Amino acid sequence: MDNRYLQQFKKGSLEMILLCLIGRKETYGYEIITELNNNGAAVLGYAKEGTVYPILYRLQQAGLIQCRIAPAAANGGSKKYYSLTPKGKETLYELIAFWGKYTECVDSFIGEDLRMEALK
Amino acid sequence: MKEQYIRQVEKHLTLPRKAKQEVIRDLNEIFASALENGETEQQVIDRLGTPEVFAENTAEQFGGKERLPKNNRTILSVVVAAAIAVVAFVIYQTTRAGDVPDGVIGQANAMTNIQVEGGLALNVPAIILWIGIVAAVFAVVQIVRVVISKWRQ
């Protein structure tokens, strides 16, 4: 059941999920992808660089995340480490607060009756 | 394989130079990290999608600082070049209007020449005229190129 309503949900929440991952600790591209796939693949589907990187660029453009480039011995190049800016932190807190109210509100529309009916 | 993929992305990416360099750097990291974790270049490419789509999605998200589409850029350059040409010709004309033919009686040009001439003989009106000509030629060439490409389509 991979309809486009589900796609919309996934798309909409990915930004917040990325902000959460980056907000928890400074992290880099491959680690983000790995964590997404280890913890969210069953629900969100497999994360791809082609989806994640464009969002990272957007978050960076919006001034929500910042990055620093550090040399990486293992891959002979460099790694870009992402962290939240103060503005990003503020936005994430707002999003988390809203998410709580949002799920509560949607749940109230679903109601016990419809939930039971759907799970039957 | 990786090099070719990155080159293709570079080709299709319509972004300012600095942003482009950043995307290319990130792509190199994507490949390096994946290889470090035992993946193959082909696996990474499969996940990234075609270079065209990757470039397009990336450019879209850079929003705001995006470069204008190529067509708009050409039109803009023609307008700017034409404006430069017009301004240059107008300036040239007005400076010429003030010129006095050599040897006119009553202009005391023997005296003033001593002060004005000498040192670098920079002929400002001529330079302006040349700027105007170059800009006009550029505008015409661009227009011709657009017309030819439209006609070919």
A65: helix, coil or strand?
strand
Query: What pLDDT does B23 receive?
Result: 92
Query: What pLDDT does B4 receive?
Result: 93
Query: Nearest chain B Cα to A31, which residue?
Result: B33
Contact by Cβ (8 Å): A25, A6: no
Task: Name the more confident of A91 and B15.
Answer: A91
- Say yes or no for a CB contact (<8 Å) between A53 and B30: yes
Q: C-alpha distances in angstroms, A93 versus A1, A18, A58, A99?
A: 32, 13, 19, 10
Query: What pLDDT does B69 receive?
Result: 61
Residues of A in contact with B30 (CB under 8 A): 29-30, 49, 53
Query: What pLDDT does A89 receive?
Result: 97
A119: helix, coil or strand?
helix
Query: Nearest chain B Cα to A63, which residue?
Result: B62
Of A89, A94, A75, A91, give the one whose Cα is nearest residue A31. A75
Residue from the list A28, A50, A75 with its beta carbon closest to the beta carbon of B54: A50
**Full residue range of the structural domain in which residue A55 is found:** 4-119
Which of B53, B61, B62, B65 to mutate: most A Cβ within 10 Å? B61
Residues of B in contact with A53 (CB under 8 A): 26, 30, 58
- The secondary structure of chain A in percent helix, strand, coil, rounded to multiples of 5, reads 70, 15, 15
A84: helix, coil or strand?
strand
CATH code for position A28? 1.10.10.10
Q: Number of CB pairs < 8 Å for A and B?
A: 67
Mean pLDDT, consecutive 10-residue stretches, chain B (153 aa), reads: 92 89 92 91 90 89 59 82 90 78 61 55 83 92 84 69
Question: For residue A80, what pLDDT band results from cuts at 50, 70 and 90?
Answer: very high
Q: What are the structural domain ranges in chain B?
A: 2-61, 70-152
Dihedral class, residue A72 (left if φ above 0, else alpha if ψ from -120 to 50, else beta): beta
Res A83 pLDDT > 60: yes
Residues of A in contact with B61 (CB under 8 A): 54-55, 57-58, 61
> How do residues B67-78 score in pLDDT, each as one tens digit?
556 667 788 888
> How do residues A26-40 score in pLDDT, each as one tens digit?
999 999 999 999 998
Query: What pLDDT does B64 receive?
Result: 47
> How do residues A2-58 score in pLDDT, each as one tens digit?
688 888 888 889 999 999 999 999 999 999 999 999 998 888 888 888 889 999 999
Query: What pLDDT does B65 receive?
Result: 46
Query: What pLDDT does B120 receive?
Result: 62
Residues of A in contact with B50 (CB under 8 A): none
B80: tokens are: 């700017």
Query: What pLDDT does A95 receive?
Result: 96
- The total domain count for chain A is 1
Query: What pLDDT does A7 receive?
Result: 84
